[in-house]
């Protein structure tokens, strides 16, 4: 990724590049620290090879380490803070992480883990936070990541400003679309951990006077619960999971410039995004300049000439032809004549009711999440006479009414017939949510499916009936 580092070095040396955690680095000092870090990392890598893992808290030092790895051509494995201990151990072993850099360490420490083979040219290993308990390691090259960041700058414009990181740096979306885009554009990036409650998110944006940020839908919902303005904010991207249209409408009505985007780890993060200059209701945005997609005959979106290098441990990974071309995203949708992408659901998530009707659960969930009383929802019911939902409610007393209101906006075959209140919120820590906010459907269904009442009435877990909806 020499292009990124060259561009960073071309910005005025005194211009602020990174701030946060008591640090303020201009572009000149950033370049010097990156060079020093790269020199130290080359020596370690020459001794054992293998991958460098990082579990530091979010800070400018985290970014210096990553850029140092890029310059030294040392593959980096960021470990997300929301990984369970079992997932953390799996990632370290799976990637053959020979070195680990954590907070409180002056230098990386040897893990004793033997290096493992991975695709040639791998610069970054990011683990998917998909629907399984064991995440998969996606191997990405420096040129690929630089192309994504450059395309975003081309689409969004290289406007000076300040980006506030809100997602963990180990999340590819924040790392590439947030930090790398900011550095390419010559902007300042404020980096520090942020609590995930609404007041903390608002305070982080307001105190830093951020002009840009990246959110997942649940974070946006929590931010909107704080009824205070953000006059400096010019662009907030939201993605990682399905965004309820009503949530976007509320944000715009409140003067918060939120724009939906879409991507996946295998594509190096972002594929499409709406912008202030080009936005279409119902779409996830216009395709990035380098992206070529087309829908298959069944509607699944396919990526032409994917650039990922492969998955860790996959047979033939890194060899020619090991990554399918075109690459199936697993998402269904269409692309209009102006390059805007519209998604309808996940191919593997489609539910076929007992009456033979196809229903995308994301559609029903978006209507449930549009209700203020509902914080999270997961819908299932393949082969059932009526759909079922597990709901995390902000107000348990209002949950039944909220389901009724959502059902009024849905056709009869897509209405929720049975529901119950979750024991606790869906979180990455309990294995029921990905790091970007997608529900882990298999895990949630496994926990709650047996607890649903058998009768096809709109019923909550205590047996109270809600009539007049089916």
Contact 259, 231 (CB under 8 A): no
Cα distance from N-terminal residue to C-terminal residue, the chain: 56
Of 343, 411, 405, nearest to 369 (Cα)?
405
Per-residue pLDDT at 424: 96
Per-residue pLDDT at 163: 97
Of 48, 14, 54, nearest to 31 (Cα)?
14
The pair of three-digit structure tokens given for residue 308, joined into one six-digit string? 């990922």
Per-residue pLDDT at 134: 60
In order, the DSSP letters of 52-91 are EEE-PPSSHHHHHHHHHHHHHT--EEE--TTS-HHHHHHH
pLDDT digits (tens, 9 = 90+) for 151-173: 999 998 866 799 999 999 999 99
The pair of three-digit structure tokens given for residue 271, joined into one six-digit string? 């594929």
pLDDT digits (tens, 9 = 90+) for 202-211: 999 999 999 9
The Cα 470–Cα 454 span in angstroms is: 15
Contact 250, 224 (CB under 8 A): yes
Mean per-residue pLDDT of the chain? 88
pLDDT digits (tens, 9 = 90+) for 225-240: 999 999 999 999 998 8
Per-residue pLDDT at 459: 38
The Cα 274–Cα 252 span in angstroms is: 13
pLDDT digits (tens, 9 = 90+) for 365-421: 989 998 999 999 999 988 787 899 999 999 899 999 999 999 998 888 889 999 999
Per-residue pLDDT at 178: 97
Length of the chain: 470
Of 171, 156, 158, 159, nearest to 239 (Cα)?
171
DSSP 8-state secondary structure symbol assigned to residue 433? B
Strand partners, 377: 391
Per-residue pLDDT at 218: 78
Which 3 state secondary structure label does DSSP give 47?
helix
Query: Element (H or E) spanning 123, and its range?
Result: strand 122-127
pLDDT digits (tens, 9 = 90+) for 22-79: 999 999 999 999 999 999 999 888 888 889 999 999 999 999 999 999 999 999 999 9
């Amino acid at each position: 990724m020499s292009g990124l580092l060259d561009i960073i070095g071309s910005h005025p040396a005194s211009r602020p590049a990174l701030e946060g955690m008591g640090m303020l680095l201009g572009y000149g000092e950033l370049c010097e620290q990156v060079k020093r870090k790269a020199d130290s990392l080359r020596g370690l890598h020459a001794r054992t090879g293998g991958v460098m893992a990082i579990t530091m808290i979010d800070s400018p030092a985290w970014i210096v380490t990553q850029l140092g790895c890029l310059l030294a051509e040392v593959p980096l494995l960021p470990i997300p803070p929301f990984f369970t201990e079992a997932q953390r151990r799996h990632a370290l072993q799976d990637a053959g992480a020979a070195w680990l850099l954590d907070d409180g360490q002056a230098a990386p420490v040897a893990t004793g883990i033997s290096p493992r083979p991975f695709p040639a040219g791998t610069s970054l290993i990011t683990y998917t936070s998909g629907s399984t308990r064991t995440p998969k390691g996606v191997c990405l090259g420096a040129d690929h990541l630089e192309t994504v960041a450059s395309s975003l700058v081309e689409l969004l414009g290289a406007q000076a400003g300040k980006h506030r990181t809100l997602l963990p740096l180990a999340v590819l979306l924040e790392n590439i679309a947030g930090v790398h885009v900011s550095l390419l554009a010559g902007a300042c990036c404020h980096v520090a951990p942020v609590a995930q409650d609404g007041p903390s998110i608002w305070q982080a944006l307001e105190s830093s006077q951020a002009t840009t940020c990246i959110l997942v839908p649940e974070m946006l919902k929590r931010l909107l619960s704080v009824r205070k303005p953000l006059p400096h904010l010019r662009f907030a991207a939201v993605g990682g999971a399905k965004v309820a249209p009503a949530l976007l409408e509320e944000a715009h009505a409140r003067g918060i410039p939120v724009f939906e985007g879409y991507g996946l780890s295998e594509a190096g993060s972002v594929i499409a995004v709406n912008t202030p200059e080009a936005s279409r209701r119902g779409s996830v945005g216009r395709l990035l300049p380098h992206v070529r997609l087309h829908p298959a005959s069944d509607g699944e979106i396919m990526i032409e000439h994917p650039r990922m290098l492969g998955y860790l441990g996959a047979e033939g990974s890194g060899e020619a032809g090991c990554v399918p071309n075109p690459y199936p995203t697993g998402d269904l949708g269409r692309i209009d004549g102006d390059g805007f992408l519209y998604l309808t659901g996940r191919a593997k998530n489609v539910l076929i009711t007992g009456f033979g009707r196809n229903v995308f659960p994301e559609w029903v969930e978006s209507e449930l999440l549009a209700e203020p009383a509902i914080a999270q929802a997961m819908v299932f019911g393949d082969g059932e006479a009526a759909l079922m939902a597990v709901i995390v409610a902000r107000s348990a007393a209002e949950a039944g009414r909220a389901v009724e209101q959502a059902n009024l906006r849905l056709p009869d075959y897509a209405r929720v017939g049975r529901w119950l209140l979750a024991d606790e919120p869906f979180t990455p820590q309990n294995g029921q949510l990905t790091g970007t906010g997608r529900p882990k459907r298999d895990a949630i269904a496994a926990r709650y499916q047996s607890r649903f009442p058998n009768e096809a009435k709109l019923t909550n877990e205590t047996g109270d009936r809600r009539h007049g909806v089916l």
